[in-house]
A and B are shown apart, each in its own frame.
Chain A
Amino acid sequence: MTRIATIRLIVIIAAIAALELACRTGLIDHRIVVPPSEMAATLIRILASGTITGDIARTLGMIAIAALVSIVFGFALGLLVHATPRVRQALDPMFATYYAVPIFIFYPVLIAIFGLSLVPIVLIAIATAIVAMIIATLNGLDRVPRVLSKVARVHRMGKLATAIRLQLPAAAPYLFTGIKLAVSYAFIAVIASEFILAPVGLGRDIADAYADFNNPRMYALMLFVLVVSTVVNMTLHALDLHWTQQRGRGAS
């Protein structure tokens, strides 16, 4: 481990220890924050009891569906838009504005149309995630070196072969950035929708525990969501870094 990573680990552990200490000594009211050790203990108990297994499966399943749809269709739409420069030019300002607008405020509108079910959650998650994938696809295709299309011509490769064997690998690192963002956005949107209003799900469980003043349960579930989301994001981040470094080496 590098020195910096060691320091980072110490900082994080010190922060958790300080919180634990502050809670134990009564510096932070037990009714406001429960000690981290208690959060973990409660979480293990809840997980072992199996009562939230269904909600975990539903929430993660929805995230997976939304991310998958966003990645596949975002990529396809990206290809389509890239192939038609005039459409792309017209859409560019929309892409630049898309994430500046709180798309999430349309979640209640989707509930009004589709009813209080899982459909609005998946739809708002796709709406949040798909544009990141489209933008990443466009970025990737923009950065395919021109020499590759010359190579393809020299070797008399067909359009499909060029796309699969040259363009796709060249654009892959950018596409991966899109995948990373799509997963992270889908995660945020699904949890947020469940939290605001949903029939079931982990976000709903947290909101319910809050409403019941059941802080130990609320903090335990929160810890679970934060740990899962951090592990997923950090894994994708590490893979992304790995790809980027490989790309750097390949170019030089």
Chain B
Amino acid sequence: MSAMRRAIDTITIVIVLLLAWQALHQIAGETALPGPLPTLSYLTGLVQTSRFADNAAATALSFAFALMLAYAIGLTIGVWMGAHYLSGAVGEPILVALYSLPKITLYPVVLLIFGLGISGKVAFGALHGILPVALLTMAAIRNISPVYLKSARTMKLSQAQTVLTVLFPAMLPEIVSGLRIGLTVTLLGVLLAEMFASKQGLGFLIMNAMSLLQNEEMIAVAVLLFAFAALANALLLWAEHHWHPRV
């Protein structure tokens, strides 16, 4: 019943957004902002071209590497700062400060160090993702209730058992939200990198379409990325609730 209502709500939001788009199109005019229908029909044509496939593959590859790096480094820092009190107390405000910086200003440094190729994009995407993953992992470890550890001791669980059956399930929900936020900001990082200086990728495709005044293509790609991010987020949110049904 509630699932049904949520589905109806989501569909309503999508319809309202499409209507708003159509209305904006009427105001802005055909060339500035193509309407939803022509754009979507353009999109179905676009995804079949090799130009699209090549750029999408470039973005997907950078994104996959960046995400792996962000998760690996973020989890390592998070576990370290969560387990070691002094490091966490010293480091957390520094991480929070870094998190709210406009990281795009640092992109030229990344470019100077890693060059214009894929490694620069990967590094910049990972730079975005590391911080939320680290911060939420750290919080997950710190928020473990001491009662859990006491009960584990009372039940005479071995260290491996404690980690696997007590600590890990207790930390999982928060870590999954860290991974979810890490995923979206890493994607943003990769796209920003492609928009600024790149000859490949969906971010480049958007900027290129803008300079060629191909507004249909620009909006089609933007909408596609929008839908992809929303869908990925919904899946991870679902996983979060699935593993943590109490909330």
Contact = CB atoms under 8 A, between A and B. Distances in A.
A113 B93 contact: no
B104 A8 contact: no
Given A105-B226, A229-B102, A100 B107 contact: no
Contacts of B226: 101-102, 105-106
A208 to B, nearest CB: 11
Contact of A187 (B6, B102, B108): B102
Interface residues of A, number: 49
Contacts of A100: 180-181, 184, 229-230, 232-233
A206 to B, nearest CB: 6
Interface stretch (A76-84, A89-97, A152-160): A89-97
B93 to A, nearest CB: 7
B76 interface: no
Interface string A1-13: 0001001100110
B210 A234 contact: no
B108 A108 contact: no
Contacts of A148: none
Interface residues of B, number: 58
Given A104-B192, A195-B107, A112 B210 contact: yes
Contacts of B102: 187-188, 191-192, 203, 225, 229
Contact of A210 (B108, B180, B203, B237): B108
B96 A108 contact: no
A31 to B, nearest CB: 8
Nearest to B12: A90
A111 B10 contact: no
A109 interface: yes
B94 A196 contact: no
A137 interface: no
A113 B108 contact: no
B207 interface: yes
B196 A93 contact: no
Given A93-B13, A101-B184, 4 more contacts: A8-B90, A33-B113, A195-B107, A237-B96
